[in-house]
Structure 1
Amino acid sequence: MDIKTLKIFLHLSESLHFSRTSDAFHISPSTLSRHIKQLEESLGCCLLTRDNRSVSLTREGQIFQTYCRESLAHWHVLKQSLDEQNTQLTGEISLYCSVTASYSFLYDILSQFRRLHPKIEMKLHTGDPAPALSRVIEKYEDIAIAARPPHVPNNLAFKRIAISPLVFISPNDALTSNQLGVSNKQALQWDKIPMILSEEGLARSRSDQWFKQQGIKPNVYAQVSGNEAIVSMVSLGFGVGVVPKIVLDNSPLASKITILDIQPELEAFDVGFFTLKKSLSNPIVSAFWEQIGVR
């Protein structure tokens, strides 16, 4: 079992798609199948269940996936520490964040980090911010950008990059606002106003908490994955939404949106980078972490 085999299996365990992994490693699907078969024979267990339509990990496959991530991380640390003649860091680092965070915070950081460490491969994954911390804890990512929850798990390190208010938004159109019932904030009937909220995550929990504290049962029109989608739906007049202000500031639809002056205000987002504390022993993660502080 060599490092390449671990990389191949880890990629396949995440893609769950033989063709994608074959393309990524420039090998044929049949060669990939032989790699997996030899690996399963070496371990003496089945790692994947597959049929003509789907691929999934067995319980043993999930255990081996974790082993692969940890082994490859340790390999990069060992290789770097042994290569005393090499003054430049080499390897890869994976980051996860929302689309908004990628162009709000990462450009300057990644530009400078790339200049200082040109041999480090950057892997950026974007998506709904709700699962950001779990992706770091489960070692799918080295670092993630997310809002700081009330209780940060003890195994995570956090570094702040911004404070963003959490705001109520409505369409910037008088007729549509009137139809939604938000033209007069003194007479808001929240049980009738269609609300567009996040499916899960910190924004949803703070919205739910706000409504509960006000003794309001909200009329939830839609539950959406991703703040950008909420802005889009609100701009089209489907309802009133709740999003971090930084999302609106960077949205191409900002001119079609109005921030409602609602009191009391929702608790603001404390946005920053998260990583596992033990990952800071990895020179690559440590170098990136230090770079955050010198923006």
Structure 2
Amino acid sequence: MDIHELQLFIHLAGTLHFAKTSREMNISPSALSRSIRRLEDECGKVLFLRDNRTVTITEEGKAFEKFAKQVIDSHRNLMNQFRKSEEELSGLIRIYASVTASYTILADILKKFRQKYPRVRIELQTGSASGAIEQVQNGKVDITIAAKPNIFPDSLAFLPLIETPLYFIAPRHPGSVYETVSKQPINWEGTPFILPDKGVSRHMMNAWFHHMHITPEIYASVSGNEAIIAMVALGFGVGIVPKLVIDKSPMKEDIITITSAPKMQPYTVGICTSKRLLASPAVQSFREVSRTLYAV
């Protein structure tokens, strides 16, 4: 089986969308379809069910996805071990992080890592912090900077780096939301919320709403802490974001922290990777550099 075709299969298993996979993997839709058919012919099984509208992975496809990820990981580890015998470590590390994590935590790590291992290539993808762990689980990246959820997947390894508290925030400038949170006690059920669409802080807020018997007025569910700060600054509602993000936000002068709000459990932010990749010399070295810079 061809390594590239296995990579195409894994990507398609994550997107379940031929057009998206062909675009992101730089391959024509017809060539992608031929690659998938070759894999199905080799397996003697149907790996995807597709019609004009939807693509669904079969049970055989799910089993093959697990196999394909193991092969890709083993191939990458083998190539890295071969390169390790050379004078300098080389290879590729695919990293996913939020914009804030990229220019705070990750920037320091990459600076030292590049000085020590200049021949290791880095591919960096940025996106919402709430989707970080899924990127590693789906095999799209090797490493992500993420907040550790209460329920952490057994297949992943987590290296804690820092802790950052979570703050309730409101718009600084007068308006209906500012007036609402200025009155004590705060009427939380009458306060519009800007919440993350998923992730650790969304789970925390849902648990808090349940504990306080609050039926929240959710103005918007958005992707990314930066988007929450922007909408709060514009007066659409209140939100909850990590202090790390507030400190680095260009809009921090347009928001205030709600000092009378309840204290939430702080985030533990760290490096998340698949346990299968812990044998990779490049991943090992990246984790070691990170450990020397940060410690919880």
For the superposition of Structure 1 and Structure 2, which TM-score range results when normalised by the shorter chain? 0.7 to 0.9
The one-letter code of the counterpart of 1:117 is Y
After superposition, residues 94-243 of structure 1 pair within 5 angstroms as: 94-179=94-179, 181-184=180-183, 186-243=184-241
Task: Compute the displacement of 1:258 (Å).
Answer: 1.0
Matched-pair contact (CA < 8 Å) for 1:191–1:217:
yes
Task: Compute the displacement of 1:174 (Å).
Answer: 2.3
Q: CA distance change for structure 1 residues 57 and 114 in 2, over 3 Å: closer, same or farther?
A: farther
Residue 293 of structure 1 is matched in structure 2 by 291
The one-letter code of the counterpart of 2:48 is L
Q: Out of 88-97 and 267-276, give the one that drifted further.
A: 88-97
Deviations 1:130-173 (A, max 9, x none): 34334434444322222223354454432222221111111110
Task: Compute the displacement of 1:91 (Å).
Answer: 3.0
Share of identical aligned residues, percent?
41
The one-letter code of the counterpart of 2:35 is H
Task: Compute the displacement of 1:92 (Å).
Answer: 2.3
Q: CA distance change for structure 1 residues 187 and 4 in 2, over 3 Å: closer, same or farther?
A: closer
Tell me, in whole angstroms, the C-alpha distance in 2 between the residues paired with 1:175 and 1:5.
56
Matched-pair contact (CA < 8 Å) for 1:168–1:262:
no
Tell me, in whole angstroms, the C-alpha distance in 2 between the residues paired with 1:72 and 1:95.
16
Task: Compute the displacement of 1:78 (Å).
Answer: 2.0
Q: Out of 146-155 and 280-289, give the one that drifted further.
A: 146-155
Matched-pair contact (CA < 8 Å) for 1:129–1:146:
yes
TM-score (normalizing by structure 2): 0.84
Deviations 1:211-251 (A, max 9, x none): 44445443333333322221122112111111112222222
Matched-pair contact (CA < 8 Å) for 1:174–1:183:
no
Q: CA distance change for structure 1 residues 93 and 85 in 2, over 3 Å: closer, same or farther?
A: closer
- 3-state SS, counterpart of residue 293 of structure 1: helix
Tell me, in whole angstroms, the C-alpha distance in 1 between the residues paired with 2:92 and 2:204.
35
Q: CA distance change for structure 1 residues 264 and 4 in 2, over 3 Å: closer, same or farther?
A: closer
Matched-pair contact (CA < 8 Å) for 1:196–1:223:
yes
Tell me, in whole angstroms, the C-alpha distance in 1 between the residues paired with 2:111 and 2:125.
17
Tell me, in whole angstroms, the C-alpha distance in 2 between the residues paired with 1:149 and 1:25.
30
TM-score (normalizing by structure 1): 0.84
Tell me, in whole angstroms, the C-alpha distance in 2 between the residues paired with 1:84 and 1:169.
48
Q: 5+ residue gaps in structure 2?
A: none
The one-letter code of the counterpart of 1:128 is S
Residue 265 of structure 1 is matched in structure 2 by 263
Residue 77 of structure 2 is matched in structure 1 by 77
Deviations 1:19-48 (A, max 9, x none): 665566766544443333322212212233
RMSD of the TM alignment (CA)?
2.9
Residue 44 of structure 1 is matched in structure 2 by 44
Aligned pairs, how many?
A: 293
Tell me, in whole angstroms, the C-alpha distance in 2 between the residues paired with 1:155 and 1:35.
28
Tell me, in whole angstroms, the C-alpha distance in 2 between the residues paired with 1:233 and 1:97.
21
Q: CA distance change for structure 1 residues 6 and 207 in 2, over 3 Å: closer, same or farther?
A: closer
Tell me, in whole angstroms, the C-alpha distance in 1 between the residues paired with 2:34 and 2:153.
41
Tell me, in whole angstroms, the C-alpha distance in 2 between the residues paired with 1:251 and 1:191.
28
Tell me, in whole angstroms, the C-alpha distance in 1 between the residues paired with 2:236 and 2:201.
19
- The answer to whether residue 6 in structure 2 is matched with residue 6 in structure 1 is yes
Residue 86 of structure 1 is matched in structure 2 by 86
Q: Out of 82-91 and 250-259, give the one that drifted further.
A: 82-91
The one-letter code of the counterpart of 1:201 is G
Match of 1:276 among 244, 256, 274: 274
Tell me, in whole angstroms, the C-alpha distance in 2 between the residues paired with 1:177 and 1:17.
41
- 3-state SS, counterpart of residue 122 of structure 2: strand
Tell me, in whole angstroms, the C-alpha distance in 2 between the residues paired with 1:271 and 1:41.
44
